[in-house]
Amino acid sequence: MKICPLCHTKFEDSAEYCPKCKAQLEDFEEAEKEEQKAVPKSFWIALLGTFAFIGGMILLYKLVYGAFM
């Protein structure tokens, strides 16, 4: 499967150029893989870790300052 980078129309593997845009077609499977690379699993783990850290800091802040007030 191939895809046109301009109009995003899908074509057969044998096709080389888009008849509408005259643009060279890109491999559709490879384009999908690149999209998956854009957001790796480690990004979500890091995001979750950041939220857990902020939550922990808020909890610690409340514990420390709650004890003195």
Q: Which residues bind Zn ion (CB under 5 A)?
A: 4, 6-7, 18, 20-21
User: In whole angstroms, how close is the CB of 24 to Zn ion at the nearest point?
Assistant: 10
Shortest Cβ 53–Zn ion spacing (Å): 46
Q: Starting at the earlier edge strand, list the strands of the sheet with 2-3.
A: 10-11, 2-3, 26-27
CA–centroid distance for 67 within its chain: 43
State the alpha helices, DSSP H only, in the chain. Answer: 28-38, 41-68
- Whichever of 24 and 50 has its CB closer to Zn ion, that residue is 24
Closest CB to Zn ion among residues 2, 18 = 18
